[in-house]
């Protein structure tokens, strides 16, 4: 027997409330340290942990307290 489910059927069983923690506030995002990606940074971390695209020297990024680097645009999306 083949089972076919429509999007509506999945919507009926999925929670209507968002799951997970709430998004960070604008002030918290703005407080994240801005950095200009350097050769030293690339030696430690070559790609953004969010979008998985490579960093380029001279590009603006954000560095969290854990020292991970992200593209500035990825942090706010």
Taking only the tens place, the pLDDT of each residue in 23-72 is 888 898 889 999 999 999 999 999 998 999 999 999 999 999 988 999 98
Q: What is the structure's pLDDT at 60?
A: 93
- Domain annotation for the chain: domains and CATH numbers: 25-76 (3.30.40.10)
Among 2-11, 16-25, 29-38, name the one with the lowest average pLDDT: 2-11
**What is the pLDDT at residue 11?**
65
Q: Report pLDDT for 57.
A: 97
Give CA angle at 47 (43, 52), nearest 5°. 165
Separation CA 11–CA 45 (nearest Å): 39
What is the rounded CA–CA span in Å between residue 25 and residue 32? Answer: 11
Query: Could you tell me where the DSSP H helices lie in the chain?
Result: 7-13, 26-30, 39-44, 72-76
């Amino acid at each position: 027997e083949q089972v076919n489910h429509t999007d509506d059927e999945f919507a009926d069983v999925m929670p209507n409330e968002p799951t997970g923690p709430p998004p960070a506030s604008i002030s918290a995002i703005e407080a994240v340290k801005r950095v200009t990606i350097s050769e030293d940074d690339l030696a430690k971390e070559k790609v953004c942990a969010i979008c998985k695209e490579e960093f380029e020297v001279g590009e603006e990024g954000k560095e969290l307290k854990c020292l991970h680097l992200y593209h500035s645009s990825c942090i706010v999306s």
